Amino acid sequence: MTDTSYSSEIAAAAAASGSSATRGFIERQSAQQLAESTDQARISRLAGRAIAALNDIIKEERLSYAEYNALKLWLIKVGEDGEWPLFLDVWVEHSVEEVASSHRQGSKGTIEGPYYVAGAPQVPFGGAIPMRPDEPGTPLTFQGRVTAVGGAPLANATIEYWTADALGFYSQFAPSIPEWNLRGTLSTDADGRFQVEAIQPAPYQIPTDGACGQLISAAGWHAWRPAHIHLKVAAAGHEPITTQLYFPGDPHNDDDIASAVKPELMLDPVDDGDGTRTATYDFVLDPA
Ligand code: DHB
Ligand code: FE
C-alpha cells in the first residue's frame, strides 16, 4: 500500500492497534521483571554486543549517509506508530522463546505476539468462546487433554485461548469488535480434558500501514502469518506454556513472517461432515 492510497479508517485502526499493543505491554511489566533485568554487567555486555554488531554491519555493508538517515527516520516512525511490540514480536521474539524453552520435555511453546489480553471470560466445558451471533468463519470444536510429562492428567489446568477473527482482526486491537470476541479461558475437568466451540481462524497479515509495513514493502517481503490459535496453558506446580497451533495446508506455514511455526504445533483437524470441524490437541507440561 502506498502513502497516497491510505484509507484514513485503516490508518486509524493500525495506529490504535499499535498504541494499544504498546500500552498493554507497558501495563503488564511488573516491577519484579524490571528489577531482574537491571544487572549492570549484563546490560553492558548485551548492549555492547548489540551496538558492536550494528557497527560491524555498517562497515561490512559500507552504509551511506542516505541509508543511515533513512534508518533513523524509520526507527523514529516505529515508535511514533506504537509498533515496537509488533517489530520485536515478529522478528525477535522467536529466538528469545527458543532459548527460554530449550530445557523443556513437554509440549512446544512459541511466541506470544502482541495481542494477548489477560482475564478473558471463563468458558464452561463444551461451551462457546465469546463471539458475535453472525461470527464469520468455519465453526471449530477445539478439544484435548492436559497432562504432566509423566502422563498424569492435570485437573483444573487453565487454557487461555485467543484468535483473530475471519478478517484477521483481534478484539481490543481493532475498532468495532466486542471486547472479548474470540477470547476465552477454559479449564480442564478431573481427567485433564477440555473442549470449546470456536471459529477456525484465517491466515493473518500483520498491520501493513505503519512503519513495519513500510519496511516489508520496501524490502519486497510479505506480511503473512499462517492461521493460528494462541494459547497459554497453566497448571499448579507446572511450567506454564505460551504457544500457537497451526492448520495443515496453510500457504504460510513454511514462510511465517514471525518464524513461529514448529512441526509439533500442527493440528490435524477433521471435517465433521456438517460444515464444522474438530481439532484435538494434547498439552504436556513440565514440572515447575
Ligand atoms: C504478530 C501478530 C500475531 O497475531 C502474532 O501471533 C504474532 C505477531 C504481530 O503482528 O507482530
Ligand atoms: Fe496472532
CA of 31 to the centre of ligand 1 (A): 25
Q: What is the pLDDT of residue 125?
A: 98
Q: What is the pLDDT of residue 9?
A: 45
Ligand 1 neighbours, Cβ below 6 Å, are 86, 89-90, 111, 113-115, 204, 206, 225, 228, 258
Q: What is the pLDDT of residue 14?
A: 55
| Residues forming a β-bridge with 7 | none
CA 106 from chain centre, in angstroms, equals: 20
Q: What is the pLDDT of residue 32?
A: 60
Mutate to test the pocket of ligand 1, among 204, 231, 250, 265 (most ligand atoms within 8 A of CB): 204
Nearest ligand, measured from the Cα of 87: 1
Closest by Cα among 170, 178, 181, 184 to 125: 184
Angstrom CA distances, 115 to 5, 69, 118, 234, 239, stand at 26, 31, 10, 18, 21
Contact predicate 141/276, CB 8 Å: yes
pLDDT beneath 50, residues of the chain: 1-12
Q: Whose CA is nearest to atom 2 of ligand 1?
A: 113
Set out the domains of the chain in order of their start, with CATH numbers: 8-288 (2.60.130.10)
Q: Whose CA is nearest to atom 3 of ligand 1?
A: 113
Q: What is the pLDDT of residue 10?
A: 45
Q: Please write the tens of the pLDDT for every residue from 162-196.
A: 999 988 899 999 999 999 999 999 999 999 999 99
Q: Whose CA is nearest to atom 10 of ligand 1?
A: 206
Nearest ligand, measured from the Cα of 17: 1
Q: What is the pLDDT of residue 34?
A: 64
